[in-house]
């Protein structure tokens, strides 16, 4: 544990969770009833999709790594809900929620996990490598921190093309200790790029608590000061607060073309991935505490029930529909075909996939 | 002799070296408190304490570089990469620093560092986590690279690596971690740069390393039973230094060579070996040299397809029969 660490938590996290003090923030007050229901529905869909994945994994249909987002829904849902035509996103390997929230459908997402040709990456990427460039979603990256320079590049391209946009670049609390992240910070600030680095601080990088991975563990966003960059800390259990604070950063990106680091405090309920037995580094009580008092989906549900936007019946039907959708996605993945051996050597080079009269290269490009 | 797993063999090597030499330090992500992402270092923190077994942040360039620096002052760090794929974020340290410092100092400095971890495909984790960089790294003079295929070799090579005064990169394989084999109870090493005949034969030489050795042994079994062919399997064990004489002696005996590796074909380890054989044993060959490697594409995620992308026994048998035809 680093000495003299001043924990800089968002104010709202210091109190027990109650009605959101950000409900009246203009960015939330302007939401229609339908908008709010849609936002809740999206969060519920993410949760049910992830929970359905557990079953598919346990059935042995998903191999490799499966990193779940359960507990963190408000982070991706809140931030992505604000994005417009020229706003882009990129993240690490805990990437399913971001995909669903930009509008990928559950079927292509589930089929990717089971390695089917109908998957979003045609069975070539897997859980950690979702992509939907048509929805401004640039992945899905397996190497910790590797997406930070890419996100910086996306922001650069937005600025270069004169668009009023941004790139939200998500990473974990462990990722901030990758060198590439620091280089990206510097470039973003030096060149005034319209980027928001979103640190999804769930307290752990695999089995390493944040205190054991990071000097000055009290506040990860504060490193922004070393780069003369704006920063803020956010309660990631409250989707209204996520929206309110992201909106400020987004405005900074759109109107001033300036970067921001947002550290959003959140929590993951399951192990780091499905292969983590989750027994050595945190106790069950801690997880239980978060589930019972800070659950982002439940808190938003309560909020909207209080506002009279949701009714018990509506909550039930939304969740039932999300479960059904997830089941249908699993069935779709089951029925979908595998890629073929010939598919292995497709999509390596643009040139190879687009051979035609204009192709000039004659050298061997794929070897035996 | 005890029968232990490949994983246990690696762990035993580290434990014995930690005991033997107080300069040995184990370092990496999740190696201590979590007992290792693949449990290779399980129990070492408990036995040796946090000074000798150290958890690091996810900062490969930082901690690998730190290990290289410490090795310059006589520490013998054994650094775990959770996957060798992650060495790519530390490439400057791994290649430029560890590989060049001795040379650039005119021999004044040496870097007795070991970097170890799994380097393999076949586990359904996608392209970013499935790299096999032994050929890339072995192409740099100054670096040693070993790829054990059995528990015996895993322990012996690991101990040799830790005692070695140069940087040694040990490439393990997650699929082999549970494989069992006989390992002597007494102290031993497998010298770096000595290949091993894993199976004797007279009709065809298969040269392989890492898990491709296991695949080749299975293929050799089929070739003998179903086709009456006697296959010799040469396990390189060490990529650099490369035991050229053992390869050549085998080819001189069988007059046919098939090279099997899990790398992609272009500039793979076997490209170098094919050159070696034609340069030094051209007249001995009764047929062109054959090769089986992974299908030339980034590693596919889909499990069924990935199993076909990698060399598997039937493909090795087919390639062997072609050479023997
Ligand atoms: C360069 C690199 N090193 C190590 C890993 C293995 N690894 C994958 S996720 C992870 C933990 C990351 O934690 P954090 O950044 O907090 O994100 P979270 O998983 O909590 O979302 C590690 C060590 C990797 N994928 N890439
Ligand atoms: Mg984390």
d(CA A267, CA A73): 10
- If 0-12 CB within 10 Å is exposed, 13-18 middle and 19+ buried, where does residue B32 land? buried
Whether residues A126 and B86 touch (CB distance < 8 A) is answered with no
d(CA B39, CA B31): 8
Q: Which residue has 């080819």 as its token pair?
A: B251
State the sign of the Cα–Cα–Cα–Cα dihedral B253, B256, B261, B263.
Answer: positive
Fold (topology level) of B196-324: Rossmann fold (3.40.50)
Cβ-Cβ contacts under 8 Å between A and B: the total is 137
DSSP state of A11: G
Give residue A7's pLDDT band: very low, low, confident or very high (50, 70, 90): low
Instruction: Report domain extents, chain B.
Output: 2-183, 196-324
- CB–CB of A148/A197 below 8 Å? yes
pLDDT over 90 at A362, yes or no: no
d(CA B101, CA A270): 44
Give residue B285's pLDDT band: very low, low, confident or very high (50, 70, 90): very high
Of B34, B126, B264, the CB nearest to A142: B126
Distance of CA A51 to the CA centre of its chain: 16
Q: How many other C-beta atoms lie within 10 A of the C-beta of residue A102?
A: 18
Looking at chain A, the whole-number percentage of residues with pLDDT higher than 90 is: 91
pLDDT over 70 at A3, yes or no: no
- CB–CB of B313/B215 below 8 Å? yes
Q: What is the mean pLDDT of chain A?
A: 96
- Ligand nearest to the Cα of A96, by number: 1
- CB–CB of A151/A193 below 8 Å? no
Give the pocket of ligand 1 (CB within 6 Å). A 94, 142-144, 172-175, 200, 202, 204-206, 272; B 29, 58, 60, 82, 86, 89
- A180 domain-assigned: yes
3-state secondary structure of B59: coil
For residue A88, the enclosing domain spans 19-353
pLDDT over 60 at A2, yes or no: no
Which of B28, B58, B62 for a ligand 1 pocket mutation test, highest count of atoms within 8 Å of Cβ? B58
- Reported residue count of chain A is 368
Q: What is the pLDDT of residue A217?
A: 72
* CB-based contact, A338 to chain B, within 8 Å: yes
Termini Cα distance of chain B: 42
- A108 domain-assigned: yes
Q: Which of A79-88, A125-134, A214-223 has the lowest mean pLDDT?
A: A214-223
Question: On the CB side of A149, how many CA atoms lie within 13 Å of its CA?
Answer: 9
Please, what is the angle between helix A73-80 and helix A296-307, to 10°? 60
Q: What is the pLDDT of residue A5?
A: 52
d(CA A196, CA A252): 9
Total domains in chain A come to: 1
d(CA B160, CA A261): 47
B196-324 shares the fold of B2-183? yes
Q: How many other C-beta atoms lie within 10 A of the C-beta of residue B188?
A: 12
Could you report the per-residue pLDDT of A21-77, keeping only the tens digit for each? 999 999 999 999 999 999 999 999 999 999 999 999 999 999 999 999 999 999 999
Could you report the per-residue pLDDT of B135-181, keeping only the tens digit for each? 999 999 999 999 999 999 999 999 999 999 999 999 999 999 999 99
Taking residues A263-269, what's their average pLDDT? 98
* CB-based contact, B123 to chain A, within 8 Å: yes
Q: Which residue has 């060490």 as its token pair?
A: B238
Give residue A6's pLDDT band: very low, low, confident or very high (50, 70, 90): low
Q: How many other C-beta atoms lie within 10 A of the C-beta of residue A262?
A: 28
d(CA A139, CA A147): 8
Of B34, B62, B126, the CB nearest to A64: B126
- A223 domain-assigned: yes
Largest CA distance in chain A: 68
- CB–CB of A261/A189 below 8 Å? no
Q: Which of B129, B261, B262, B306 is catalytic?
A: B129
- A14 domain-assigned: no
d(CA B324, CA A6): 72
Distance from CA of A365 to the nearest CA of B (A): 9
Note the helical H segments in chain A: 26-29, 33-58, 73-80, 96-102, 106-113, 147-160, 179-190, 210-213, 239-256, 284-293, 296-307, 312-335, 341-344, 350-353
d(CA A189, CA B163): 46
Q: How many other C-beta atoms lie within 10 A of the C-beta of residue A65?
A: 21
CA of A10 to the centre of ligand 2 (A): 17
- A11 domain-assigned: no
Q: How many other C-beta atoms lie within 10 A of the C-beta of residue B286?
A: 12
Give the containing element (helix H, strand E) for B319: helix B313-324
Could you report the per-residue pLDDT of A165-186, keeping only the tens digit for each? 999 999 999 999 999 999 999 9
CATH superfamily of B2-183: Thiamin diphosphate (ThDP)-binding fold, Pyr/PP domains (3.40.50.970)
State the sign of the Cα–Cα–Cα–Cα dihedral B196, B198, B201, B205.
Answer: negative
- Ligand nearest to the Cα of A70, by number: 1
Distance of CA A224 to the CA centre of its chain: 21
Taking residues A72-100, what's their average pLDDT? 98
Q: What is the mean pLDDT of chain B?
A: 98
- A359 domain-assigned: no
pTM exceeding 0.90: yes
3-state secondary structure of A105: coil
Q: How many other C-beta atoms lie within 10 A of the C-beta of residue B165?
A: 11
Note the helical H segments in B111-210: 134-138, 151-163
CA of B266 to the centre of ligand 1 (A): 30
The enclosing domain of A103 has a CATH number of 3.40.50.970
Which DSSP string corresponds to B84-95? GGGGGGGHIIII
What residues in B contact A181, CB-CB < 8 Å? Answer: none
- A361 domain-assigned: no
Looking at chain B, the whole-number percentage of residues with pLDDT higher than 70 is: 100
Taking residues B251-255, what's their average pLDDT? 98
């Amino acid at each position: 544990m680093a000495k003299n660490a001043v924990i800089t938590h968002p104010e709202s996290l210091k109190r027990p969770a109650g009605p959101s003090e950000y409900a009246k923030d203009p960015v939330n007050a302007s939401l229609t009833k339908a908008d709010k229901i849609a936002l809740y529905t999206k969060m519920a869909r993410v949760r049910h999709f992830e929970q359905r994945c557990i079953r598919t994994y346990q059935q042995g249909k998903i191999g490799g790594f499966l990193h779940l987002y359960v507990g963190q829904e408000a982070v991706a849902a809140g931030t992505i809900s604000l994005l417009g035509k020229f706003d882009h996103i990129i993240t690490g390997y805990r990437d399913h929620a971001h995909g669903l929230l930009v509008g990928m459908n559950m079927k292509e997402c589930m089929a990717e996990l089971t390695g089917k040709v109908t998957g979003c990456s045609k069975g070539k990427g897997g859980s950690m490598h979702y992509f939907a460039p048509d929805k401004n979603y640039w992945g899905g990256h397996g190497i910790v921190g590797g997406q930070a320079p890419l996100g910086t590049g996306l922001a650069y391209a937005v600025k270069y093309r004169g668009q009023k946009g941004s790139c939200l670049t998500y990473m974990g609390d462990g990722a901030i200790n990758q060198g590439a992240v620091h280089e990206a910070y510097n470039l973003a600030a030096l060149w005034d790029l319209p980027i928001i680095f979103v640190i999804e601080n769930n307290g752990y990088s695999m089995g390493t608590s944040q205190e054991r991975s990071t000097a000055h563990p009290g506040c990860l966003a504060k490193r922004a000061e070393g780069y003369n960059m704006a920063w803020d800390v956010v309660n990631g259990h409250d989707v209204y607060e996520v929206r309110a604070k992201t909106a400020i950063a987004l405005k900074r990106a759109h109107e001033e073309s300036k970067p921001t680091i947002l550290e959003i405090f959140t929590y993951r309920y399951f192990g780091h991935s499905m292969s983590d037995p989750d027994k050595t580094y945190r106790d069950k009580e801690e997880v239980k505490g978060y589930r019972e008092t800070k659950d982002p989906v439940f808190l938003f549900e309560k909020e909207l029930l209080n506002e009279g936007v949701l009714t018990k019946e509506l909550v039930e039907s939304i969740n039932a529909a999300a479960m059904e959708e997830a089941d249908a996605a699993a069935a779709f993945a089951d029925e979908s075909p595998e890629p073929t051996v010939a598919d292995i050597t497709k999509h390596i080079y643009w040139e190879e996939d687009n051979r035609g009269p204009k192709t000039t290269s004659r050298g061997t490009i794929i070897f035996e | 002799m005890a029968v232990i797993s490949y994983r246990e063999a690696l762990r035993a090597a580290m434990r014995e070296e930690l005991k033997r030499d107080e300069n040995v330090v184990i370092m990496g992500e999740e190696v201590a408190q979590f007992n290792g992402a693949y449990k290779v270092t399980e129990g070492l923190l408990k036995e040796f304490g946090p000074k000798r077994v150290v958890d690091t942040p996810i900062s490969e360039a930082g901690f690998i570089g730190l290990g290289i620096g410490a090795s310059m002052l006589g520490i013998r760090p054994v650094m775990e990469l959770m996957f060798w794929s992650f060495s790519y974020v530390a490439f400057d340290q791994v290649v430029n620093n560890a590989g060049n410092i001795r040379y650039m100092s005119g021999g004044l400095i040496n870097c007795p560092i070991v970097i170890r971890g799994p380097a393999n495909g076949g586990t359904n984790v996608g392209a970013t986590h499935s790299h096999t960089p032994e050929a890339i790294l072995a192409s740099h003079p100054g670096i040693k690279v070993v790829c054990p295929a059995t528990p015996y070799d895993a322990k012996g090579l690991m101990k040799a690596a830790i005692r070695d005064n140069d940087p040694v990169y040990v490439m393990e394989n997650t699929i082999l971690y549970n494989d069992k084999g006989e390992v002597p109870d007494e102290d031993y090493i497998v010298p770096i740069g000595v290949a091993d005949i894993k199976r004797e034969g007279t009709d065809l030489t298969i040269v392989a390393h890492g898990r491709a050795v296991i695949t080749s042994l299975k293929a050799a079994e089929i070739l003998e039973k179903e086709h009456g062919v006697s296959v010799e399997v040469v396990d390189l064990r060490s990529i650099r230094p490369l035991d050229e004489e053992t390869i050549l002696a085998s080819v001189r005996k069988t007059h046919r060579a098939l090279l099997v590796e899990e790398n992609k074909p272009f500039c793979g380890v076997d490209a170098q070996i094919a050159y070696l054989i034609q340069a030094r044993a051209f007249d001995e060959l009764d047929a062109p040299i054959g090769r089986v490697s992974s299908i030339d594409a980034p590693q596919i995620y889909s499990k069924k397809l990935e199993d076909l992308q990698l060399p598997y026994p039937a493909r090795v048998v087919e390639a062997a029969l072609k050479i023997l035809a």
